[in-house]
Amino acid sequence: MTFTIDPAATAWLLAATAMVLLMTPGLAIFYGGMVRSSGVLNMLMMSFISIPLVTVVWLLAGYSFAFGEDAGGGLIGNFEFFGLSGIDPSTVRENTAIPELLYVTFQLTFAILTIALVSGAIADRAKFSAWMVFVPVWALLVYAPIAHWVWTPDGWLTKFGALDYAGGLVVEIASGASALALALVLGPRIGFKTDAMRPHNLPFVLLGAGLLWFGWFGFNAGSALAANGTAAAVFLNTLVAGCLGMLGWLVVEQVRDGRPTTFGAASGAVAGLVAITPSCGYVNTMGALIVGLVAGVVCSFAVGWKFKGGYDDSLDVVGVHFMGGVVGTLLIGLLANQAMTGEGGAEGLLYGGGLGQLGKQAVGVVAVAAFAFGVSYALGKVIDLVIGFRVGKEEEISGIDFALHAETAYAEGVSGHGHGPRKLGEGPFGH
């Protein structure tokens, strides 16, 4: 069968790819506002450095491992596209109407964002050099195999029947489980559970959340790989879930803490967007409303679990991205609607929910989480043993921006370092 390039689909995916790439700088600003001012530059850099590092390994081998022909067992691709071999501007992605080079780039932006998400769990205490080693190796050993499992016809989770439209398993659960692993490898920040570690710039947090929300339309609706009704439905679902996630989180804050917060608004919107990512192409608009609302409520409580569990997930990657990904992935089994089309916008691939599908989704969650956690923990331990993953005590206390980058974000000096007492988990400063 011969495939030809569709100009409309190509134009839409070009725009969507740029939108998804913007999510990583947006995440940098989101995370940068959440940390103390003595570590904001380092936080920004951890996201930005992911762009070139992942790009290099993706073009060399990552894309081939993820989307090349299956090398056996549905576990990983072969070396078919090593160095983008065999791909030129006229190559059309199989079963689509878009250039293969554009598909390579679109999927690259997903890989970049996923590893950048992990950085939030180790804010204020990780060596930048160690992070630069972790990023490309993780992209090859963790992200690429999981993408192959879920998003290729021969992937074992695809054949098993687990569904993930735009990244609940591949992006959110993989990053959340990996974040937990690294948080355990590095250990808690000095002052965890005793010192106030307040966001130094809440306007940054809201700006970052807004950029993420904008990019998320490309993330989800772009995954239709076509300019059609499916993309339109996914676009609306993404908006609805973000709105309900915000409302759900704010209602919890009002009831629990007596006041809704700007930090809660940003976090709730992100939680709803995370949860709709796997399900956006399988639920109708009312289903998206439920997904967003449940995620906003669940994640608003999940961010406080670290204080009981004793793991220092600095910026709540586990509480928001892992738990939001779990909520959205599992709800496919309950809310999948026969009127929605399947992944890639292919008409006629219809899915419905049920206990059988719920079981398949649960297997996907457990498999991806276990693999991402195990490999990330092992990789983190190896890096820690060889070059050390955590900065020294004096560097952490004085602030890692100047210690690691010889710069500070604010000319007037460090502010908002925050060592006052607080009630654990209270209000918007409970991270």
- Rounded CA-CA distance 82/220 in Å is 27
Query: How confident is the model at residue 337, as a pLDDT?
Result: 83
Query: How confident is the model at residue 196, as a pLDDT?
Result: 80
For residue 203, what are its two tokens? 């306007």
The number of angstroms, rounded, from the C-alpha of 332 to the middle of its chain's C-alpha atoms is 18
pLDDT in tens, the chain (431 residues): 567 899 999 999 999 999 999 999 999 999 999 999 999 999 999 999 999 999 999 999 999 999 999 999 999 999 999 999 999 999 999 889 999 999 999 999 999 999 999 999 999 999 999 999 999 999 999 999 999 999 999 999 999 999 999 999 999 999 999 999 999 999 999 999 888 888 999 999 999 999 999 999 999 999 999 999 999 999 999 999 999 999 999 999 999 999 999 999 999 999 999 999 999 999 999 999 999 999 999 999 999 999 999 999 999 999 999 999 999 999 999 999 866 644 433 333 345 678 899 999 999 999 999 999 999 999 999 999 999 999 999 999 988 999 999 999 997 654 444 433 333 343 333 44
Spatial CA neighbour of 315 closest among 141, 180, 431: 431
For residue 15, what are its two tokens? 């725009």
Query: How confident is the model at residue 2, as a pLDDT?
Result: 62
Angle at 265 between CA 39 and CA 164, to 5 degrees: 90
Query: How confident is the model at residue 195, as a pLDDT?
Result: 85
Query: How confident is the model at residue 95, as a pLDDT?
Result: 86
- Rounded CA-CA distance 318/118 in Å is 9
Query: How confident is the model at residue 412, as a pLDDT?
Result: 65
Q: Residue holding tokens 């939680």? A: 271
Who's near 153: CB < 8 A, 6+ residues apart?
none
Q: Could you give the 3-state DSSP secondary structure of residue 126?
A: strand
Q: Residue holding tokens 């999981």? A: 146
Query: How confident is the model at residue 344, as a pLDDT?
Result: 39
Tally Cβ neighbours within 10 Å of residue 190: 12
Query: For the residues of 42-69, what is the DSSP string, one character each?
Result: HHHHHHHTHHHHHHHHIIIIIHHHHHSS
Query: How confident is the model at residue 346, as a pLDDT?
Result: 35
Q: Could you give the 3-state DSSP secondary structure of residue 219?
A: helix
